[in-house]
Amino acid sequence: MRTIFLDFDGVTHPEFCHESRHFSCLPFFEQVLRRVPGCEVVISSTWRLQVPIDGLRARFSPDVAHRVVGVTPRFFELVNVPDSLLGYEREAECNAWLRANDRSVFPWLAVDDRSWLYRPFNQSLFLVDGKTGLTAEMAEELIILLHRP
């Protein structure tokens, strides 16, 4: 099982957009989930700090919502953060979730628009342009990437 860590602002909708456009790009991500069934989703977005998991899951279509299995922990609550991750908050949160859920040995991918929250050249980061959010073309690239072993 592959874990996808999903950011919202800049991915499921353009960053700094009007709230009427919130989740306007989510259908593209849902198509990815439909075409790559062996993935679970963990929300890494800061939205997880204000909205309970059930509220986050409710944003998704019923056929894929059950694949949203959790949220990452808050960075300031983490213990035993490896030194190599101290400057990379979101990657450290993803790493902590993987360890806490016995997924450390499985492949994972973060879909995010902020590269600086991850170590440079991280092969587990799928970078989205925050000005547009996830597009149909990016979703096709993501599908190809997720089909690789």
Residue 85 sits in a domain whose CATH number is: 3.40.50
pLDDT for 77:
81
Which structural domain, as residue segments, surrounds residue 52? 2-147
Predicted TM-score (pTM) of this structure: 0.95
Helix, strand and coil percent figures for the chain, each rounded to 5: 40, 15, 45
Evaluate whether 42 touches 5 at the Cβ level (below 8 Å): yes
User: Which residues in the chain come in under a pLDDT of 70?
Assistant: none
| pLDDT at residue 19 in the model | 95
What's the confidence (pLDDT) of residue 82? 86
pLDDT for the residue numbered 148: 87
Number of domains the chain contains: 1
Task: For residue 7, count CB atoms less than 10 angstroms from its CB and return exposed for 0-12, middle for 13-18, buried for 19 or more.
Answer: buried
Say what the pLDDT of residue 47 is.
Answer: 97
